[in-house]
Amino acid sequence: MSDEQYMQRAMTLAQAAADAGEVPVGAVVVDPATGEIVGEGRNGPIGAHDPTAHAEIVAIRAAAAKLGNYRLPGLDLYVTLEPCAMCAGAISFARIRRLVFAATDEKGGAVLHGPKFFDQPTCHWRPEVRTCSEFAADSALMLKHFFRARRA
């Protein structure tokens, strides 16, 4: 499968989050050697009563449980929105090989914006980072519609 196909799965998970009343963000962890999705998640802090239940954390936890290891070297993470500082920390601690995300997040993102977590000297593991710009507009629009509906 291609980056675009994995990101499409993450977008499907983001829509499922929105349908459940959660902020629409989805994520998948992939083993690029086999093409297998080894973990996936969608935002769920409200339903799980867990402020750490961001899509990236849920996907990383699922992959770690499936593989029986808290480190995920050699694996790739696809997420529909630029990770926040908490999720960037988890990505670093898990030793994710490559991070691919769709929409940037000027307000809450911590990879290209804000603290730029992976550029900090205290960050001991830095994944390769790629934006999947072909999904950026769709992801941003999904988020915009979600928050507009909440304000109405």
DSSP class of residue 125 equals -
For 140, residues 6+ apart whose C-beta sits below 8 A from its C-beta are 103
| Annotated catalytic residue within 56, 82, 106, 128 | 56
Amino acid residing at 142: M
54 annotated as belonging to a binding site for a ligand? yes
Any bridge partners for residue 141, and if so which? none
**Amino acid (one-letter) located at 115:** P
123 is in an annotated binding site: no
Tell me the percentage of the chain whose pLDDT exceeds 90. Answer: 91
Q: Are 146 and 18 in contact (CB under 8 A)?
A: yes
Give dist(CA 42, CA 75) in Å, integer.
18
CA nearest to 62, candidates 17, 33, 30, 87: 30
**Residue 151 pLDDT level (bands cut at 50, 70, 90):** confident
The per-residue pLDDT for range 8-58, each reduced to its tens digit, is 999 999 999 999 999 999 999 999 999 999 999 999 999 999 999 999 999
Q: Read off the pTM.
A: 0.95
> Residue 30: what pLDDT?
98
Q: How many CB atoms lie within 10 A of CB 103?
A: 24
> Which has the closest alpha carbon to 104: 25, 29, 36, 34?
25
56 is catalytic: yes
